[in-house]
Structure 1
Amino acid sequence: MIATGFDLNDPAVIADPYPHYAWLREQAPVYHSTAPDLWILSRYDDVATAVRDASRFSSDLGTAAEFTDNPFSPGMRLPRRLAGIVDRVVPVRTLLTSDPPDHTRLRKKVSRAFTPRRITLWEARINEIADDLVDDLVLASKRGESVDLVRDLASPLPTAVIAEMMGIPAHRHPQFKRWSDNLVDGLLTDGSTPRMLAAAVGIAGFFARVVRDRRRNPGDDLISLLVTPDADGDALSLVELIQFCVLLLVAGNETTTNLVSNAVLALLDRPDLWHAIVADPELAGAAVEEAVRYDSPGQGLLRIARSDTVLNGITIPAGARVLPLIGSANRDPRHWDDPDEFRLDRSRNDHLAYGIGIHFCLGSALARIEAKAALRALAARTPHLAHAEPLARIPSPVLRGLRSLPIHIGADDSSRRP
């Protein structure tokens, strides 16, 4: 039974939000939460409208000083002085937090780095990285060491990929991951403000040096491409380049890590589906697409109402913070057949996990390739994979994933690639 009302930061909601989303969709599809002050949307059509319609719902969330009132981590408060430092070091007007015309210009400049052709060229290397990580994972198990799906595969895979794409040397990858983890940590209910601030300063300074170096000595990496002016002779500023590099590292790493871990957990909870992928690795693509719908790595996106807006007969006032729940929209029975079932034969894939409209995720193709590579490598090498207890979830109402997923590998699973 779901109690009357909805508390975004309730541990029960964070542990399993989907019954609570069902209550919202049926009883209060436009729900006003007073603590934090948010208007929460839960039905597919309303969520799609808020995410897509930039004329009514703005993505411009203001300055980093607004972290003094972070709705997703009520225990984390940045003093104004520190918020000002973060605002100068890592300004927040990014692709995710801007509207046209700023967004249009930024997206035009960076989208050339994420064309389907360019991303496809990385597929073979991504498969190699996934295979190497699974090699290490299997060998560790055979040595009797504990194996964790998040620590040993889901987390290092996207870090290694994006670092290589940026031309960052391998010895810096662990530092990359620490920065990324500490920045995301600031969004969690038990987040650390000092670690987040130190990571923001460290990563911004690092990328500033890299960008300056690539301007003097360009190569064939992603950052070198981004520092090159486009056909119109326009180039991103140093601040814009730093912003985008940070966004790639943090948003790309966290969401892909969560996608891989959520997909593996869903499959291991359904051994028949896992065995189907072992028998036919081409099903990995369908599994990834269903996983991102079924248990979306990003459960919600923040928007600001530009004017008084009526949805489902309820008026959302101008200036209000609005939270379209992606995770709820992707389980709405008004839009999906058997929405609470994990199915590999689902014929439609118009989920909202990667957004919609002008904010559709530039990195979606890369995330899909990485997640498929992880599933295929595991299916080929660890057909008797099973998860162990206890697993640990990320303590966040908007980031849906796992901090830890211990796994068992069958004693007869191969220590060598096929």
Structure 2
Amino acid sequence: MTAFDLNDPDFIANPYPVYAWLRDVAPVHYGTTNDLWLVSRHDDVLAVLRDARRFSSDLGNADDNPFNPALRSPRALSRLLDRLPPARTLLTSDPPDHTQLRRKVAKAFTPRRIAALEPRIRQIAEQLVDDLDGDLVRDLASPLPTIVIAEMMGIPAARRDDFKRWSDELVDGLLTGGSRLKMARSAIAISWFFARTVRSRRRSPGDDLISLLTTRDQDGDALTLGELVNFCILLLVAGNETTTNLISNAMLALFDRPDLWRRLGEDPGLASAAVEETLRYDGPAQGLLRITTTEVVIGDVTIPQGARVLPLLGAANRDPRHWADPDAFRLDRPSNDHIAFGSGIHYCIGTALARLEARVTLETLARRHPHLAPAGPPTRIQSPVLRGLRTLPVTVRPATVPAHPVATAQPG
């Protein structure tokens, strides 16, 4: 195996055999099809992620997209996107810009603030499980994070469908071969929506996430309008897609292992272990693009300056040099120091929220529908870097406990 296409449907369906070949035969591999250097072994991937000086996240003004060839040199798209407010983003900036941005937005994701969301997330999960009717992604995994982030931002419930459509069309256009025109229209619509919302919250702040982000930090600095808009888009798109895929990947893995799904039904407390193992075994993000700022040597391979490098999180998280029995899905791993959320300065800022949403969802499903079962083949997202499902048909059987148990008086 000397050549393969990351966009090939067979690879997208199951990339793990290719990952194994890469780790064993070509741990630093140049692919001519996508003009990418692939790094696959755990320690090498970790080194790339933690070296922001030599492996930059500032992708510059590249006019092509290695994961969607249809977007190469899109002139009409570029003209449309020129109308968006220019600004730095957390994902595509290096220090010192990244350091400043991260400090400003970190206040919105403190452990205390995220933990306080659990009762409301449980309520949302219960309501969606009540209405679960045939497709786990459509009815539960997709709407839950959209509702949560919309409420955090103080966005009216009437705009949730717009939020989801904008998010899906942005992701599809950028990474899965979707319509360029739809992507551009959604990018413009969501940008102007958030611009108007930010201006409104600056005039009349509330207790929502956008209002919090508009306040000045301890040094008296404030995010610019463009930075606020881009961060809101990042929260919506990256947060929704990651959590939706994490939930659907977890349920697919558990459906494939009925004994483990039964164990979760008997002990919903295992949901946290199931979430962590899903992140390692079949995580929602398979790679993170970087650009070399200088010539770099990894092992016995020299990567030139200005090269696009894709550290493969999915390959690293199944490296047998780091884990025993890495291709097995286990709930009893003694440790699970996966790198599904990245590492270093770009470690995902929304990690705690994604974990909380996924854990609560699995706990709710295991308690309410321990006999939930697949009802047909799933439909997979056609992307080599986003791993998840667009559909997951299910058969819903009667819950073993009431949807909303009635509280009884305790003897006293």
For 1:112 and 1:412, the matched residues in 2 are separated by 39
**1:82 positional shift:** 2.6
Q: In 2 relative to 1, CA 412–116 (structure 1 residues): closer, same or farther, beyond 3 Å?
A: closer
Query: What is the aligned partner in structure 1 of residue 66 from structure 2?
Result: 71
With the length of structure 2 as denominator, give the TM-score of the two structures. 0.96
Query: What is the aligned partner in structure 1 of residue 27 from structure 2?
Result: 29
Query: What is the aligned partner in structure 1 of residue 409 from structure 2?
Result: none
For 1:90 and 1:383, the matched residues in 2 are separated by 48
| Mapped contact 1:135–1:415 kept (Cα < 8 A) | no
**1:34 positional shift:** 1.1
Query: What is the aligned partner in structure 2 of residue 326 from structure 1?
Result: 313
Query: What is the aligned partner in structure 2 of residue 143 from structure 1?
Result: none
| Mapped contact 1:188–1:394 kept (Cα < 8 A) | no
**1:411 positional shift:** 4.6
For 1:91 and 1:37, the matched residues in 2 are separated by 27
Query: What is the aligned partner in structure 1 of residue 3 from structure 2?
Result: 5
Q: How does 1:302-317 map to 2 (within 5 A)?
A: 302-317=289-304
Query: What is the aligned partner in structure 2 of residue 144 from structure 1?
Result: none
**1:402 positional shift:** 0.3
Q: How does 1:18-417 map to 2 (within 5 A)?
A: 18-63=16-61, 66=62, 68-89=63-84, 91=86, 93-137=88-132, 140=133, 147-411=134-398, 413=400, 416-417=403-404
**1:87 positional shift:** 4.2
User: What's the secondary structure of 1:322's corresponding residue?
Assistant: strand
User: What's the secondary structure of 1:69's corresponding residue?
Assistant: coil
For 1:259 and 1:177, the matched residues in 2 are separated by 17
User: What's the secondary structure of 2:159's corresponding residue?
Assistant: helix
**1:293 positional shift:** 0.8
For 2:227 and 2:47, the matched residues in 1 are separated by 28
| Mapped contact 1:187–1:396 kept (Cα < 8 A) | no
Query: What is the aligned partner in structure 1 of residue 408 from structure 2?
Result: none
For 2:293 and 2:175, the matched residues in 1 are separated by 28
User: What's the secondary structure of 2:38's corresponding residue?
Assistant: strand
Output the amino acid matched with 2:315: S
**1:417 positional shift:** 3.3
For 1:94 and 1:88, the matched residues in 2 are separated by 17
For 2:287 and 2:249, the matched residues in 1 are separated by 16
With the length of structure 1 as denominator, give the TM-score of the two structures. 0.94
Q: In 2 relative to 1, CA 323–241 (structure 1 residues): closer, same or farther, beyond 3 Å?
A: same
Gapped regions of structure 2 (runs ≥ 5): 406-412
Q: Which moved more, 1:351-360 or 1:205-214?
A: 351-360
Output the amino acid matched with 1:186: G
For 1:158 and 1:268, the matched residues in 2 are separated by 22
| Mapped contact 2:45–2:313 kept (Cα < 8 A) | yes
Q: How many residues align?
A: 405
Gapped regions of structure 1 (runs ≥ 5): 141-146
Q: Deviations over 1:294-339 (max 9, x none)?
A: 1010100000011110001100000000000000000100011111
User: What's the secondary structure of 1:89's corresponding residue?
Assistant: coil
- Compute the RMSD of aligned alpha carbons: 1.3
**1:190 positional shift:** 2.9
**1:80 positional shift:** 2.9
**1:36 positional shift:** 1.2
